[in-house]
Amino acid sequence: MSDAQTRLVNGALVQLGEDTVSDLTADPPPSRVVKILPHVQPAIDAVLVRYGWLCALEYSTLEPSGLVPANWRFGHAYLAPEGALRFWEVSRVSGWERGVWERPDGASRPILRATEGGPINVSWVKRRPADALDANVLDAVTFELAARAARPIGGSVERALELRKLADQAVLAAMGTDGQDTRADDVMIADRVGNLRASAL
């Protein structure tokens, strides 16, 4: 386990009133570690998907995919790169929408449906491990992780709800600092409806 993941887990354990650990790979592991580890990556994903964090943002030029079937409304589909959690910005003003493609093996992947084909420039949020996150984002994930682990570890619904509010506040604080670290002039078109949905999660 990375140092960042250990700090993340320990930060969440402190919020839950639990003792911290020095080694997440100890054998046998403490019960609190067994209960919290399955929530680590889902907590990271849940925070990353809510915003176009600079530490998780990637830029690509996509071509229409032949794997995703077209439909009567949108004749073209663009498959998100591997590891994408969501699209953030799209270089077209209109004629597109976000979607999800369920692969034959049952896994899903974000897609863009479009009325016109050709290359399309996008930015997208990539799944990251704990050690790739900005410090402010990691703080937000700490509270998200604590909120998710509150019931498995302590069984407290009230504490889980309290931590959920703190997690939302931490995300908003991290958004405020994240936006100060870029000064790009060529702003693409953001998926505003998708952003509102994500912010309500």
Q: What pLDDT does 201 receive? A: 47
- As a whole number of angstroms, the distance between CA 143 and CA 138 comes to 9
Q: Is 107 helix (H, G, I), strand (E, B) or coil?
A: coil
Supply the Cα-derived Rg of the chain in whole angstroms: 19
Tokens of 162: 């309290």
Report phi then psi at 119, rounded to 5: -65, 150
CB 115 within 8 A of CB 2: no
Q: What pLDDT does 121 receive? A: 97
Q: What pLDDT does 190 receive? A: 52
pTM: 0.85
Q: What pLDDT does 193 receive? A: 44
Instruction: Map tokens 């019960």 to a residue.
Output: 31
154 burial class (0-12, 13-18, 19+ CB within 10 angstroms)?
middle
- As a whole number of angstroms, the distance between CA 24 and CA 105 comes to 32
Q: Which of 177, 73, 86 is nearest to 124 (CA)?
A: 86
Q: Which residues of the chain have pLDDT under 50?
A: 191-194, 196-197, 201
DSSP strand pairing (96-102 vs 108-114): antiparallel
Sorted by sequence, the CB contacts under 8 Å of residue 11 that are 6+ apart come out as 139, 142, 145, 146
Q: How far is CA 2 from CA 48, 50, 118, in A?
A: 19, 24, 41
Q: What pLDDT does 154 receive? A: 85
Q: Tell me, what amino acid is at 74?
A: F
